[in-house]
Structures are given as C-alpha cells and as structure tokens.
C-alpha cells in the first residue's frame, strides 16, 4: 500500500531557530499533501493543503510566513517552522491524498522548542 515516510520522528530545537520536517511518498506520487498539527490530548487540526508545483493554501489563523510549506516534487513535501517558539511545540503530521477517498498519513513529528 501507499506509504508516507515522515522525518524526523522527534526534534528538539532552541527558541528562534528553524526546523524542517520532511514527508516523502515512497511508492506513489503525491500530488496533494495535507499538513496537520495536534496538541496533547487534542485532535488533528488542518494547517494547510499543498499541491505539487503550487503555493500552499493555509487555513485561517495559520501564519504562512511562519509555517513554510514546499511541495516542489511529487514525492517530497516539507514543512519548515521558522523562528520557532515554545508555543509551536506540537505533533505535526502530514497526509497524502491517494485517491478520491484515500489518504495516507505519516508517522508524525514531535517538535519541542526550548
């Protein structure tokens, strides 16, 4: 089946630095990638939708200059958290569309900003 590999699994960074999270589709081409954020004990909240070769569409309240999404190829999408602060600490998950009703999720990245 379709697999999305997400790296890193966890990362700790200092406040003010940037962190890049990668999601690769291993055996299929992901034309559309969705990025979610999940705080402890909460559900997944959609941050943005990216289509290969196009600018990402961000949900209301998500700062596009802070959360940079790049989807330059059909097998790689990246989320860069710029100038990270402790309130950005969260679990970030990507999801690739695999069909009309199919979605494959990455394993998530636990970001801790200290």
Partner 1 sequence: TQLLEQSPQFLSIQEGENLTVYCNSSSVFSSLQWYRQEPGEGPVLLVTVVTGGEVKKLKRLTFQFGDARKDSSLHITAAQPGDTGLYLCAGARQAGTALIFGKGTTLSVSS
6 binds partner 1 (CB under 8 A): yes
Residues 41-80: x/- map of binding to partner 1 (CB under 8 A)? xxxxxx--x-------------------------------
**Residue 99, by phi and psi: left (phi above 0), alpha (psi -120 to 50) or beta?**
left
Pairing of β 109-113 and β 67-73: unpaired
Residue 39 Cβ, how far from partner 1 at the closest point, in Å?
Answer: 12
Residue 3 three-state SS: coil
Q: Which residues bind partner 1 (CB under 8 A)?
A: 6, 32, 34, 36, 41-46, 49, 91, 93, 95, 97, 99-103, 105-108, 110
């Amino acid at each position: 089946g379709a697999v999305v590999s997400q790296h890193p699994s966890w990362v700790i960074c200092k406040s003010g630095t940037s962190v890049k999270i990668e999601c690769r589709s291993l055996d299929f081409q992901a034309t559309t990638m969705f990025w979610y954020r999940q705080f402890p004990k909460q559900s997944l909240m959609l941050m943005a939708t990216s289509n290969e070769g196009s600018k990402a569409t961000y949900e209301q309240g998500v700062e596009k200059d802070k959360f940079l999404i790049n989807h330059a190829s059909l097998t790689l999408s990246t989320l860069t958290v710029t100038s990270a602060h402790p309130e950005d600490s969260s679990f970030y998950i990507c999801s690739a569309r695999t069909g009309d009703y199919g979605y494959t999720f990455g394993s998530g990245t636990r970001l801790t900003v200290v």
